[in-house]
Amino acid sequence: MSLKQLIITIIIATLLCWASWLLVIFEVDPTTAGFYGLLIFYSSMFLSLLGLFFLISFGFRKMFNRLEMEYKLVGMSFRQSFFFSLAIVGFFFLQSKDLLTWWNSILLVLALVILEFFFLSYRRK
């Protein structure tokens, strides 16, 4: 798959994920939806954010790192977009359970930073 096909596929998938998230927002009652309604809400929000952050991150990396190989930019952008989306969805989930405090936020961010450092050190070897 070429880079252009990948970007077009991600744009289309991201738009579909945003549409599904909006559909869940306007059509699903969270008090009666139960586990599956919340699962669909959080997973569609995660995938929407993942696609959006990937496209933004890859665009900036491509613009400022013209000498870097494109497959490295794609991998780095996807990994960091995944972590950032996971953090935002984690914040939303903790807030929904009334568990979002400053120390929980720091622990979540610290865990994701440690995971990123693990992947950075693993890649170099």
Query: Does the pLDDT at position 125 exceed 60?
Result: no
What is the value of pTM for the model shown?
0.90
pLDDT of the residue at 104: 95
Token pair of 107 as six digits: 């622990």
Query: Does the pLDDT at position 29 exceed 60?
Result: yes
| Strand (E) or helix (H) holding 1 | none
Q: What single letter denotes the amino acid at residue 4?
A: K
Angle at 9 between CA 7 and CA 13, to 5 degrees: 115
Q: Determine contact, residues 81/53, Cβ cutoff 8 Å.
A: yes
Count CB-CB contacts under 10 A for residue 71.
10
pLDDT of the residue at 123: 62
Q: What single letter denotes the amino acid at residue 111?
A: A
Domain boundaries, the chain: 3-124
Q: What is the pLDDT of residues 72-94, one digit of tens each?
A: 899 999 999 999 999 999 999 99
Choice between 16 and 72, residue whose per-residue pLDDT is larger: 16
